[in-house]
Amino acid sequence: MTEILQQHRVHGGTLSYCRHPSAATGTAMRFSIFTPGGEGPFPSLVWLSGLTCTEDNFTTKAGAYRAAAEAGLVIIAPDTSPRGEGVADDPAYDLGQGAGFYVDATEAPWAPHFRMETYITVDLLAAAAEVAPLDPARRGVSGHSMGGHGALTLALRHPELFQSVSAFAPIVSPTRCPWGEKAFTAYLGADRALWRAHDAALLMAGGAARGAYDDLLIDQGTADNFLEGQLKPQLFVEACAAVGQKVTLRMQAGYDHSYFFMASFIADHVAWHAQRLKP
């Protein structure tokens, strides 16, 4: 049962903060959901946030809801990890609570609760459908940084669930960057062959979701201090080119890794998804 903790009227729609029990994580999980005015059923966009974020960062900082209201689009923004008493954690910002990486962990101490792929693709979608009248055949996914990794990989791994995909400054190849190597070693173990199934560039190169998406939209700031060491969008572009997948990479001059970047272009992403999620 999904519990509505608070609601706010915004741009003619309703923003709800929610909590619900998750079978995947074995914990209570939180998310926000914006529902535009009208009766629905509505298309929806699942937004996956980055390292250290909760369900509140996108909700309060991205400024997405005017565009979503105009497009008649629901936006669902979950927390980035399980939390609470008995849930494993790490002192570092890039591992543990707030850093779920949208994978199902197989290694101790993470495996009992850190099952974020199953959470997003099963439990969250069911909980959101209790709050808003959603059309399950019209759903997109987007995200930022770690969440951009989540958006790309979940779209490629579950094309039956998502009909459109975009990302801001995504970690496109976590098997080839420090953030991903650290998280995957902890969550998935030392066998790097097992990591490949959660690397968007390698999934694309292997033909995942072939023909499922007409185009993929990625916005990346040129002043992002993680661009060269962690994000490496060219690896994904090269993989797309090798298999004939269209991708639109927009290098945005002077923009950094912050929510100021996302707020500047979120309306473009809402329109991108709305166009592809028309009935």
Active site annotation includes 113: no
Which long-range CB contacts under 8 A does 105-108 form with residues at least 24 apart? 105/186, 105/187, 105/188, 106/187, 106/188, 106/189, 106/194, 107/186, 107/187, 107/188, 107/189
Catalytic residue among 113, 257, 269, 273: 257
Catalytic residue among 44, 142, 145, 166: 145
The Cα 157–Cα 253 span in angstroms is: 31
Pairing of strands 216-221, 164-168: parallel
Q: Which residues pair with 45 in a beta bridge?
A: 75, 140
Residues sharing a CB contact under 8 Å with residue 192, sequence separation 6 or more, in sequence order: 175, 184
Which helix H or strand E contains 264, and what residues bound it? helix 259-276
3-state secondary structure 2-15: CEEEEEEEECCEEE
Q: Which residues pair with 167 in a beta bridge?
A: 218
Active site annotation includes 257: yes
CA distances from 29 to 12, 21, 53, 243 (A): 27, 6, 14, 37
The Cα 235–Cα 79 span in angstroms is: 28
The Cα 77–Cα 128 span in angstroms is: 10
Catalytic residue among 173, 199, 224, 273: 224
Residues noted as catalytic: 145, 224, 257
